[in-house]
């Protein structure tokens, strides 16, 4: 059975600890000290010691059916609740996440990353599309929990329950935009073409030939920017004048107001993201406002890290002020290893690395790894793609030190799941081959540098038919036809099964990683690769000189080879698979790896 299958004792211990932390029981001095020591130990863990589990609260577990409509009228276009529609709320909430912490921890995850939990505009329409904010990215109140997910008490209970069992909680945050509230009088249909700074400067109303406004504004002194109608004429519809919290968010002067982004050039920074109100993040009022908002979540709940949405759509100056402020706020709260990583959706490390060098990000989501690891595991390309990727680690700020804390992942809620990518690359493969390749992809992630990040449901074999709505399955028996009709890779299991083949496989990997410090913190050395599917080998070398050799075969035939190792690595112990007991010669070991499989071998004195 997978770790965590004997749930009773762990659940009772966690509930007792959480009760003490929440004040429902009167702790003794020893119990208080024990809880404080445990929390301190959790906060001393480095980011690379974690295995992150990313989930959408709406799709993970429904712990409280009374909040399914979020307190709104029971009309799908009012509350956004329609469990048969991929783009509407399905009922999951924070109470459900708390109830399923055993399941997450049994998989070997040590940190839970929640998609945004802030209060959202429940339903929006833009350009003919109508959907609900089940994903959490259409925020109106940045200071409150969305009522579909619970309330302050539910948020506090989740964090305390996670901390009580040694797990961290990361929040997904947004500083680029808010919900779509502001409209433009020139665009009654809702779609507005982007208007550039050159054609529509801040100092003219309606274009370069327009009447002078914002006189004296030089792009730096934002106290002189008082009129927001330089490109369009923005307004807040009646009844929504106070829709946003904090109150400063309701004033159009704090937004770019230039129309929809094309996601290229200047519009990538200043345009509305599919109609969402794009914040004027150059403005000191916006900078300080966002620092106050998200610093407040650290102060209030003791959050352990932030994943930052749409990082590439915000100017560097904002991040250069915001990120140090968040790190300082966390340190003041006694959180020395606060993990911040930004979403820079690009497979080119030259693009993602820029955000660590220019914008000041400690880390970014490793989209380049996602691309290479899934392509390699799917057999689309040779294993040399991973070698080239790891060679590029030097371009990140602090090089390998930064690469060590990049969250690595195989798929997500926007692009789709690893199972989908493997199936797409191997349309004629049977279930056994697809399962083996998905396991191999997870092994590549679990034993290479970086912070492994699991996407909820992958461990149950969910694959889906693509990205976005097709990759956001319910963990429970779904009423959404496209989810209910899916046959997961490895076969359908009961909800939250710890016997699912991928759950078992991933739990084995996380156990090995947790037991071996070199697999979390060791220096990485790529040992073998080729321009076709086949052998990929890497070593993780610990500070004490110990070596762990991870070997992967991405081909459908067995491979045999000699692989270079450290000269002092002469004898070997198998952590997984069949490893040679001794090196063939100093600095060389013979390896045999079965098709679509992996070995993990540890040097021993």
- Supply the pLDDT for residue 350: 98
pLDDT value of residue 21: 45
Q: What is the pLDDT of residue 25?
A: 62
Over residues 501-519, the mean pLDDT reads: 98
Q: What is the pLDDT of residue 32?
A: 83
Angle between the N-to-C axes of helices 152-164 and 29-44, in degrees from 0 to 180, rounded to the nearest 10: 90
Average pLDDT over residues 427-446: 98
What's the pLDDT score for residue 34? 83
pLDDT at residue 5 greater than cutoff 80: no
Catalytic annotation present for 299:
no
H or E segment to which residue 329 belongs: helix 316-332
The distance of Cα 148 from the centroid of its chain, to the nearest Å, equals 21
Total residues found in the chain within this entry: 605
Local structure of residue 250 (DSSP, 8 states): G
Percent of the chain at pLDDT exceeding 90 = 93
What SS3 string covers 136-167?
CCCEEEEEEECCCCCCHHHHHHHHHHHHHCCC
The string of DSSP letters for 34-98 reads HHHHHHHHHHHS-GGG--EEEE-HHHH--S-GGGTTTTS-SSHHHH-B-TTSTTSB----HHHHH
Q: pLDDT tens digit string along 106-156? A: 999 999 999 999 999 999 998 889 999 999 999 999 999 999 999 999 999
Task: Classify each residue of 139-173 as buried b or exposed e, where b means 16 or more C-beta atoms within 10 Å of its C-beta.
Answer: bbbbeebbbbbbbeebbbbbbbbbbbbebbbbbbb
Q: What is the DSSP letter of 175?
A: -
Exactly one of 309, 375, 486, 597 is catalytic; name it: 309
Residue 23 pLDDT more than 80? no
Q: For 27-39, what is the HEC assignment?
A: CCHHHHHHHHHHH
- Reported as a single tens digit per residue, the pLDDT across 454-495 is 999 999 999 999 999 999 999 999 999 999 999 999 999 999
- Give yes or no for a contact between 434 and 489, defined as CB atoms under 8 angstroms apart: yes
Structure tokens given for 309: 């949405």
Selected catalytic residue, list 146, 270, 343, 547: 343
Of 457, 353, 478, 366, nearest in space to 413 by CA: 457
For the chain, what is the mean pLDDT?
A: 95
Q: Is the pLDDT of residue 554 over 70?
A: yes
pLDDT at 357: 98
pTM over 0.85: yes
In the prediction, which pLDDT does 8 show?
Answer: 39
> Is the C-alpha dihedral spanning 426, 427, 428, 430 positive or negative?
positive
Residue 492 tokens, joined: 């359908």
Task: Identify whether 508 is a catalytic site residue.
Answer: no
The position carrying tokens 């690395």 is 353
Q: What is the mean pLDDT of residues 529-555?
A: 97
Give the pLDDT score at 130: 96
Q: How far apart are the first and last CA of the chain?
A: 31
- Residue 38 scores a pLDDT above 60: yes
Q: Which residues pair with 451 in a beta bridge?
A: 407
Q: Residue 67 pLDDT more than 80?
A: yes
pLDDT confidence of 33, banded at 50, 70, 90?
Answer: confident
CB-neighbour burial class of residue 54 (10 A; exposed 0-12, middle 13-18, buried 19+): buried
Do 542 and 522 contact (CB within 8 A), yes or no?
A: yes
């Amino acid at each position: 059975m997978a770790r965590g299958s004997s749930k009773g004792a762990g659940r009772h211990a966690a509930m007792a600890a959480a009760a003490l932390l929440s004040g429902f029981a009167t702790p003794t001095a020893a119990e208080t000290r024990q809880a404080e020591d445990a929390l301190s130990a959790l906060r001393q863990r480095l980011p690379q010691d974690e295995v992150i589990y990313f989930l959408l609260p709406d799709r993970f577990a429904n712990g409280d059916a009374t909040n399914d409509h979020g307190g709104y009228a029971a009309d799908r276009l009012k509350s956004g609740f329609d469990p048969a529609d991929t783009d509407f709320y399905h009922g999951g909430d924070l109470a459900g996440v708390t109830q399923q912490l055993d399941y997450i921890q049994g998989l070997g995850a040590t940190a839970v990353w929640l998609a945004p939990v802030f209060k959202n505009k429940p339903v929006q329409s833009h350009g003919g599309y109508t959907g609900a904010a089940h994903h959490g990215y259409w925020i109106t109140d940045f200071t409150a929990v969305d009522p579909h997910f619970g309330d302050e008490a539910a948020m506090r209970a989740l964090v305390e329950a996670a901390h009580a069992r040694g797990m961290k909680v990361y929040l997904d945050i947004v500083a680029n935009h808010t919900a779509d509230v502001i409209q433009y009088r020139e665009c009654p249909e809702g779609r507005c073409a982007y208007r550039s700074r050159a054609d529509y400067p801040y100092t003219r109303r309606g274009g370069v030939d327009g009447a002078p406004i914002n006189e004296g504004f030089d792009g730096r002194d934002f106290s002189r920017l008082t009129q927001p109608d330089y490109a369009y004429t923005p307004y807040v519809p009646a009844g929504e004048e106070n829709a946003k919290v904090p109150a400063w968010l309701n004033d159009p002067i704090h937004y770019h107001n230039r129309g929809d982004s094309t996601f290229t050039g200047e519009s990538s920074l200043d345009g509305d993201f599919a109609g969402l109100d794009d914040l004027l993040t150059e403005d000191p009022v916006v900078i300080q406002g966002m620092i106050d908002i998200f610093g407040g979540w650290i102060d209030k709940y003791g959050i352990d890290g932030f994943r930052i949405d749409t990082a590439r759509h915000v100017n560097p100056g904002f991040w250069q002020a915001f990120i140090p402020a968040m790190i300082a706020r966390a340190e003041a709260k006694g959180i020395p290893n606060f993990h911040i990583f930004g979403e820079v959706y690009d497979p080119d490390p030259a693009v993602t690395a820029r955000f660590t060098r220019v914008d000041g990000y400690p880390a970014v989501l490793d989209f380049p790894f996602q691309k290479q690891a899934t392509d390699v595991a799917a057999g689309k390309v040779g294993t040399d793609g991973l070698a080239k990727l790891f060679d590029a680690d030097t371009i990140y700020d602090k090089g390998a030190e930064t690469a060590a804390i990049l969250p690595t992942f195989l798929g997500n809620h926007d692009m789709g799941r690893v199972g989908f990518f493997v199936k797409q690359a191997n349309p004629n493969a049977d279930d056994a081959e697809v399962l083996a390749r998905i396991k191999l992809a997870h092994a590549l992630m679990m034993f290479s540098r970086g912070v492994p990040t699991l996407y909820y449901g992958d461990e149950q074999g969910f694959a889906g038919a693509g990205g976005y709505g097709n990759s956001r399955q319910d963990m429970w028996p779904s009423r959404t036809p496209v989810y209910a009709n899916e046959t997961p890779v490895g076969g359908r299991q009961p909800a939250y099964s710890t016997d699912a083949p991928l759950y078992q496989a991933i739990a084995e990997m996380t156990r090995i990683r947790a037991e071996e410090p070199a697999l979390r913190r060791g220096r990485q050395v790529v040992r073998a690769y080729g321009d076709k599917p086949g052998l990929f080998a890497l070593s993780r070398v610990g500070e004490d000189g110990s070596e762990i050799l991870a070997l992967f075969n991405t081909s459908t035939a067995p491979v045999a080879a000699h692989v270079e190792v450290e000269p002092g690595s002469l004898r070997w112990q198998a952590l997984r698979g069949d490893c040679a007991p001794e090196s063939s010669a100093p600095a060389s070991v013979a390896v045999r790896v079965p098709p679509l499989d992996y070995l993990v071998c540890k040097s021993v004195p």
